[in-house]
Amino acid sequence: MDSLDAMIRAENAMVSGLPQVQAPAAEAAARHAGRAAELADGLPAEYGWLRGYVRRVAGRNDVYCTAAARAVRAAEAFLGTGGAGLDGAIRELAEAEGDPRIDLRYRSEVRAHRFSLTALRGSARREWLRLDQGSVVFLYRS
C-alpha cells in the first residue's frame, strides 16, 4: 500500500507546478515501487500471478517516476543556472521511453517530458522564454 500511496502523491505533485515538491515525490514513488517488487519476490509459488502483477506495475512505476523526477530536476537546473545542459536528461528520457516495462500511456507521459525538455533546450540562446500555452492563477489572501 505504501507504493500506491507514494504513486498517488507523485501524481498529485506533478500537477502542483512546484519542482521542489514534484521531484522528491516522484523519487519516493520510484523507491516504493522498487520495494514493492522486492516484497513480491517473496510471495509463495501459489501467488505467482500476484507476484507477476506487482512486478509489472512496480516496474512501470519505477521507470515512469524515475524519468519524471529526472525531467523535473533537469528543468529546475536549467532555469536556475540560465541554461545548464539538458542533453543527459533528454537522453535518459528517450531510454525510458524504450523501456519494455512501461505501457503506452506512461510512454506518452515520458515522451511529453522529453519534448518539453527538448523545447526548453531550444530556448537556451533566446532572451525570452516563450510559452505556447498556459494559464495564470491569482491567489488572494484575506
> What does 73-106 look like in DSSP terms, one character per residue?
HHHHHHHHHTS---HHHHHHHHHHHT-TTS-HHH
| pLDDT computed for residue 124 by the predictor | 77
Q: The C-alpha cell of 58 is what?
A: 512496480
Q: How far is CA 98 from the centre of its chain?
A: 15
* Angstrom distances, CA of residue 84 to CA of 2, 20, 26: 35, 18, 22
- What is the block-wise mean pLDDT of the chain (142 residues), using blocks of 10 residues? 87 88 95 94 94 94 96 91 83 96 93 93 78 71 68
CA–CA separation, 95 vs 90, rounded Å? Answer: 9
pLDDT of 139: 67
Q: How many residues does the chain have?
A: 142
